[in-house]
């Protein structure tokens, strides 16, 4: 008795090798485009965050300088209007200016002191307070 022989034939895939190579190439190009777009979004987010952090740092420094200057003015002796009070020493790149003015229709012993903080020539913060001659 003899056993039946089985013949195994190699089955061809539904796609030919040529079309599959083209399909893989298109998949790779699409994957590179998606990854590139994602990386661009990440780099843009980091750039935006860096600029925001720098702006917040500059704004908080200017506000701190303004507060320090106001405290110095409050502690100083009254300077007649028009006048200028001494200023605190600012960090490099910042300039502090102050000027006095009378309260319109008010007592000459009360004045408005305006403080301006500039950085590299641009005004970054302005504030004012009142000073009384006691």
The token pair that represents 131 in the structure block:
């000073």
Q: Hey, which bits of the chain come out as E strands?
A: 94-102, 110-119, 122-132
Per-residue confidence (pLDDT) for residue 15, from 0 to 100? 55
- For the whole model, what pTM was predicted? 0.67
Under the banding of pLDDT at 50, 70 and 90, the label for residue 92 is very high
Domain ranges of the chain: 17-132
Per-residue pLDDT reduced to its tens digit, 18-68:
556 678 889 999 999 999 999 999 999 999 999 999 999 999 999 999 999
Whether pLDDT at 112 is above 70: yes
Whether pLDDT at 90 is above 90: yes
d(CA 11, CA 4): 21
């Amino acid at each position: 008795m003899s056993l039946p022989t089985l013949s195994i034939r190699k089955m061809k895939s539904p796609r030919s090798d040529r079309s599959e190579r083209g399909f893989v190439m298109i998949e790779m190009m699409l994957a590179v485009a998606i990854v590139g777009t994602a990386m661009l979004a990440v780099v843009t987010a980091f750039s935006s965050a860096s600029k925001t952090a720098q702006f917040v740092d500059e704004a908080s420094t200017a506000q701190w300088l303004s507060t320090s200057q106001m405290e110095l003015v409050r502690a100083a002796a009254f300077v007649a209007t028009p006048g200028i009070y001494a200023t605190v020493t600012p960090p490099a790149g910042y300039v502090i200016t102050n000027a006095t003015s009378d309260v319109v229709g008010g007592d000459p012993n009360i004045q408005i002191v305006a403080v301006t903080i500039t950085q590299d020539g641009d005004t970054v913060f302005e504030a004012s307070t009142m000073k009384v001659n006691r």
